[in-house]
Chains A and B, each alone.
Chain A
Amino acid sequence: MALAQQVQLQRDPGARSDIARRAAGSPALQLVGRRLLTAIPVLLGVTFLTFVVMNLIPGNPAQLILGINASPAAIAKLDVQLGLNHPFWDRYWLWLDGLLHGNLGTAYSNQQSVNSDIAQYLPTTCWLLLYALVGALVLGVIVAVLSARKPNGIFDRISLAVSMIGLSFAPYALAEVLAWVFAVRVHWFNVIDNNLGGNPFSAIKALTLPAASIGFGLFAVYTRLLRADIVEQMQREDYIVTAKAKGVAPWRVLVVHATKNSLFTLITLVALNLGTLIGAVAIIEPIFSVPGLGAELINAIQINDLPLIEGIVVVFALVTVAGNLIADLLYAVLDPRIRYGSSGS
């Protein structure tokens, strides 16, 4: 059947345009399109606000680069080179124009292209975020399911205690404790491991403590929320009673039915937490000397390196927008009843 369709496509241009129309009418693609359109004002707003705030901070980047001994003439010369002598709006439009052409400008501090700086540090941060998020989700789901299996049982109570610890500990404090226990005391990991270019195993090892520092708090939140949702599903929903009455195995009822329907809240929470995740990265990366975008952002702020700050902010904003888009798409995947707009067929 599929082969026949392909053959038909190759022979019949009319069929191809029909498929194109169907694709254009696809609710998922329409959703993606709408989200991308709304991302534009979001990005504009975020970058503009950042530009305003950084311009309000006292200090001249040229002075910072040249140091405290700089002569006024040298500062003035670098001001011109960096374009700092232009008015605020001129500088913002110039930067925006560069952004539209895919050029994020040149960092004041090292005179390197911001694009290349970000390309250098982004993969590390992405891996760290992914590691933390996936770890928190996977463990969170497993623990939540096991806790919900027997509410107020021993496992549930232990998981509650662990979650309380996770919710109580600030990520930076947890980072220090983890470093002390697992690096200094038992030497399972390193305090600083800024060489991530080796094999995947060494990169995973290097990122474990930072990811755990970020992910533990998330794990606590996800566990409690999901567990509560599953328990409510199991205790109040008619379809659960029906499934049990039909003789479905208890594990299947719990995992396939209740847990699946409880994931909506979790997905929403994950999407909402993306900003928190990114903020945590900026704190945790410097502690472990991880060469990522978070640490680079902190360095850039300290010397008022506006192009680099703006570039990193754009990246983080895009990640947040993309994360929310994925969350919306996942709703449709999990619940076929959800449709975005009208269907073309």
Chain B
Amino acid sequence: MPVRFRLMSMRAACVAGAAALVLTAAAACSSGSGSSNGSSSVQTSNSSIPVAAPKKGGSLTVLEGKGFSGDWPLGFDPATNTTGSADQDYYNAVYGQLFELGANGKLIYDLATGYTISNDSKTITVTLRPNVKFSDGSPLTAAVVAWNWTRDLQSTCTCSPASSWQIAHVNPKVPTSAPAPGVIKVIDPLTIQVNLIAPDGAFINQMFDSIPNWVISETSFNKMGEKAFAQLPVGAGPFIMVSDSYSNQIVMKKNPGYWQASQGLPYLDNLTFKSVSGDEAAYEAMLAGEGQVYTDMSTPQLLSESQQHFDVLNQLGTSPYDLQLNTAVAPFNNPKAREAIYAMTNFQPILQNIFKNAYPVVEGVTGPGGICYQPTVPGYQGYNATLAKQLVQESGLDKVTIDLGTISSSPVASETTQALSQEWAAFGVKTTLHTYALNALIQAFTVNAGKSWQAMIQTAGSYDPAGGVGVGFRFMSTAPFSGVHDPQLDKLLAQAVATSTLSSRCSLYNQAAEYIAKNYYGPFYFAFAPANVSVKGVGGPGLSTPLPPVVVTPSILWEDVYYNPSGS
């Protein structure tokens, strides 16, 4: 065949191939239900999603994203739970909790029925629910809880409460040595007491999402051994684990011996958790009917898309993002430079254009879902372009390049750093952006005695500012991830932790927020909380009713979750 005809054939074939490619991509990208434009904003209020009436029975498949809750590397023994709150869904389902955090911050008694804290906040007494049995038939008693807590305190993982429970140890030099005699006391079969050496008014709030809140069956642990138990744990929660394919799929069934079985709980007969690679895969899987719930969706574009097909519940954030400024190094050892950052930074356009106004601006140490929430902080320096220009010149901020970092796994944080960089560029301030994987982030904070970083965007604060990744984590001079070294602030924060009265504690944290603002230690902007996405007909706390997240994500109360597809 002549060359030109062969070339024409090749060209025609290439054009046909390209056309087919475009058509296929267009078909794939088209949505069957209209515009996917984010003109609608994600629900931000704390109102519940209207759903059908609870229905007993049925199955639910919950998708969990890899890299966070979709990985459970060491099984389900709380004492080895290095991934922290990421695994709370499974722990809550199997173990239940001593104390649960309900809607509007209401404390719900699950396996415990009450507590008291002494006037000096050093003695905490917990009363257990009577007649509760683990799924192996053994009873939940104060002795079992004591055994659990003693074991937890000696765990070498960072999940151990040894870092937050100020107790006497057998070997005072070894924080994970056994508690000294008398620290944990069994008062009677249903009453247990903890004696601290330093006051801690937030003791119960610190239980949420921490391992002492999940009690394992001592009988089954001793019978099965540590490794086997971690694979098929035994608790007193609403579900029993049937099978666990490591970081892949977990199948659970209703626990017929659950203490609320007489009240018809849990609603569901079967609960399956499946690991997915991320938000996109989860979204497609839900569209394909392969899952009814996806927890912790954070991609803004997909949140908008999901609203077209599913119920999207944005939790009330409790952990605000903060732009940490390292006061130990230039340029932020200069208060004027720090004030310039406050004056240059306008979070409103960022919230509006990137996050579709999904989250309210926060100026203090807790988000709207947490205790001690303070929408505005007296003396907080907001955006002021005129002042910003003046301060930039006075501090010489336009003559240096600011190193601005954040963690790579958070699209929220990454997009914010880019937006801030552009805002600051308008004032002549240059930035170099870094996103770090967790390992590198930790190193960036700690290397060179904490003097290698200048500015970082991180969460700072939690449901109770004293707990989790609380205020102290980011602002106390003893914390490795803090950019502040101020004894006065240390004293204020320590006082706040020690106070048991909520109003006093919040007053102290509000004073701390004012102090941080007055010294320009780091502007807060909003408290982000990933959304939980569910198909129509799914209801329950955390899925149709917002719950305050203790550490970023809320703890779903699985015994109250149901799926009523016919009512959707």
Contacts and interface: CB of A to CB of B under 8 A. Distances in A.
Contact of A289 (B10, B274, B481): B274
B136 interface: no
Contact of A190 (B21, B245, B288, B439): B288
A67 B18 contact: no
A162 to B, nearest CB: 7
A70 B175 CA distance: 12
Contacts of B281: 179, 191-192, 287-289
Given A63-B439, A195-B249, A111 B74 contact: yes
B158 A67 contact: yes
B276 interface: yes
A299 interface: yes
Given A160-B9, A162-B17, A287-B281, 15 more contacts: A58-B443, A64-B442, A67-B82, A68-B158, A162-B20, A164-B13, A165-B21, A177-B24, A181-B27, A192-B281, A194-B248, A195-B245, A288-B277, A289-B248, A302-B67
A168 B391 CA distance: 53
B440 A59 contact: yes
B311 interface: no
Contact of B71 (A111, A184, A299): A299
Contacts of B245: 194-195, 291
Contacts of A183: 284-285, 288, 290
Contacts of A177: 24-25, 28
Contacts of A187: 288-289
A194 B439 contact: no
Contacts of B67: 302
12 contacts: A60-B439, A67-B159, A74-B157, A161-B14, A164-B13, A164-B16, A190-B288, A192-B290, A289-B248, A289-B274, A289-B275, A299-B247
Interface of A: 57-61, 63-71, 73-74, 77-78, 109-111, 120, 151-152, 157, 160-165, 168-169, 176-177, 179-181, 183-184, 187, 190-192, 194-195, 286-289, 291, 295, 299, 302-304
Contacts of A192: 63, 274, 276, 281, 285, 290-291
B442 A63 contact: yes
B21 A191 contact: no
Nearest to A81: B156
A152 B6 contact: yes
Contact of A304 (B17, B285, B439): B439
A68 B441 CA distance: 9
B502 interface: no
Contacts of A157: 9, 12-13, 16
A149 B78 CA distance: 66
B228 interface: no
B437 interface: yes
A71 B249 CA distance: 32
Contact of B158 (A57, A66, A168): A66
Given A169-B21, A191-B281, A68 B276 contact: no
Given A109-B73, A110-B74, A59 B13 contact: no
Contacts of A191: 281, 284-285, 288, 290
Contacts of B163: 69, 71
Interface in B423-474: 437-443, 473
B17 A165 contact: yes
B139 interface: no
B82 A180 contact: no
Contacts of B28: 176-177, 180-181
A160 B284 contact: no
A86 B437 CA distance: 25
Contacts of A179: 281, 284, 288
Contacts of A73: 175
B84 interface: yes
Given A71-B175, A191-B281, A195-B245, A59 B14 contact: no
Most buried by B among A110, A176, A288: A110
A65 B439 CA distance: 10
Given A64-B439, A291-B248, A160 B10 contact: yes
A227 B467 CA distance: 67
A184 B96 CA distance: 35
A135 B279 CA distance: 30
B276 A299 contact: no
Contacts of B403: none
Contacts of A70: 158
Contact of B20 (A77, A78, A161): A161
Contacts of B289: 187
B83 interface: yes
Contacts of A68: 158, 438, 441-442, 481
A194 B249 CA distance: 7
Contact of B276 (A111, A169, A289): A289
Contacts of A63: 439, 442
Contact of B246 (A65, A110, A164, A168): A110
Given A110-B246, A191-B285, A168 B442 contact: no
B158 A161 contact: no
A110 B73 contact: yes
Contact of A59 (B24, B280, B439): B439
A302 B407 CA distance: 13
A338 B249 CA distance: 51
A64 B284 CA distance: 31
A76 B82 CA distance: 16
B287 interface: yes
Contacts of A288: 277, 281
Interface string B238-250: 0000000111110
B151 interface: no
A161 B66 contact: no
